[in-house]
């Protein structure tokens, strides 16, 4: 039996030696999880005694993290956009930079709903979250719009070609009480025929170049490769979606696509070639890095 400070100090040394990029944060999160509390409690009470049972659970988590497994998979959840999402090997772990995509989508929906009168019977704003994975974007957006009191005016559809990822997405929708507001369907990017175009298309598709995959942190090797690998230039999957935007979007539709921080010029060039009459601008994330391509139909 030891106290928080002693266990954290030893864990930091162990995780640093194992190659963790954030050994203190990892140790604090794992100890909090083992005890069944929040990280802030760990930080605030370094002198607190840790029971043998919690110490044993902490040791188990440390061993898994030292072997490279992501903290989110060990804990079974990941915080994103103020919510906690179930996370496991069925889908990519939510990244903080993706929150920018949700922010932009929320603002776009609000502008669309507030921009003109909506008589009774007006169809809802249709949104497609392409490559939804664990449903992080779709569910976060649904919760945010519900808080604003406009969730009933929106129809959100999460699309993925992996049935296991879709099962996780449905679990997350149920967990956040939006299963009645988000519908999930299995398809490759979009349904073969888009019967009713969308007002807004969102996507966090694979954008890591294939030859860069081996150089990613070890934790990424635990995630589905298909959710990371964007082909030789990182834009293979994104390019396939771009070519389908004319059939997928309404005449004044908007697409928001997450991209790599070094892909801004390439994506703008891609849109210029494939959709010469459309416009494409790149929004920065909170770190000031290019992150979201905003593609607008002319």
Read off the pLDDT of residues 190-214 as tens digits, 9 standing for 90 and up: 999 999 999 999 999 999 999 999 9
Q: Supply the pLDDT for residue 106.
A: 98
Dist. CA 59–CA 46, nearest whole Å: 18
**Of 41-50, 70-79, 115-124, 282-291, minimum mean pLDDT range:** 115-124
Domains of the chain: residue spans and CATH: 2-67 (1.10.8.10), 89-296 (3.40.50.150)
Say if residues 246 and 201 touch (Cβ distance below 8 Å). no
What mean pLDDT is predicted for residues 51-70?
Answer: 97
Token pair, residue 297, equals 């139909």
Read off the pLDDT of residues 62-103 as tens digits, 9 standing for 90 and up: 999 999 999 999 999 999 999 999 999 999 999 999 999 999
pTM here is 0.94
Exposure pattern of 273-296 as b/e (b: 16+ CB <10 Å)? eebeebebebbebeeeebbbbebe
Q: Supply the pLDDT for residue 298.
A: 78
Q: Supply the pLDDT for residue 1.
A: 67
Dist. CA 2–CA 184, nearest whole Å: 47
Residue 121 pLDDT more than 90?
no
């Amino acid at each position: 039996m030891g106290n928080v400070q002693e266990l954290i100090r030893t864990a930091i040394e162990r995780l640093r030696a194992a190659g963790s990029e954030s050994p203190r944060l990892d140790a604090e999160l794992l100890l909090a999880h083992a005890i069944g509390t929040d990280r802030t409690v760990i930080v605030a009470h370094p002198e607190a005694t840790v029971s043998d049972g919690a110490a044993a659970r902490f040791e188990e988590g440390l061993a898994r993290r030292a072997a490279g497994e992501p903290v989110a998979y060990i804990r079974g959840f990941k915080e994103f956009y103020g919510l906690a999402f179930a996370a496991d090997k069925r889908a990519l772990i939510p990244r903080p930079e993706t929150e920018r995509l949700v922010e932009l989508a929320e603002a776009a929906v609000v502008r669309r709903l507030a921009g003109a009168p909506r008589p009774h019977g007006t169809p809802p704003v249709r949104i497609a979250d392409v490559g939804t994975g664990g449903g992080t974007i779709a569910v976060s957006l649904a919760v945010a719009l519900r808080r604003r009191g406009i969730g009933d005016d929106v129809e959100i559809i999460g699309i993925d070609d992996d049935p296991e990822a879709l099962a996780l997405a449905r679990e997350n929708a149920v967990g956040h009480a939006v299963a009645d507001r988000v519908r999930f369907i299995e398809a490759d990017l979009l349904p073969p025929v888009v019967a009713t175009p969308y007002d807004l298309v969102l996507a966090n598709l694979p954008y890591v170049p294939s030859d860069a995959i081996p150089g990613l942190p070890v934790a990424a090797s635990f995630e589905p490769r298909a959710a990371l690998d964007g082909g030789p230039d990182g834009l293979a999957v994104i390019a396939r979606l771009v070519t389908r935007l004319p059939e997928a979007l309404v005449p004044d539709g908007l697409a928001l696509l997450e991209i790599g921080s070094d892909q801004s010029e390439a994506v703008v060039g891609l849109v210029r070639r494939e959709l010469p009459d459309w416009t494409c601008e790149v929004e920065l994330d909170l770190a000031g890095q290019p992150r979201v391509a905003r593609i607008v139909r002319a």
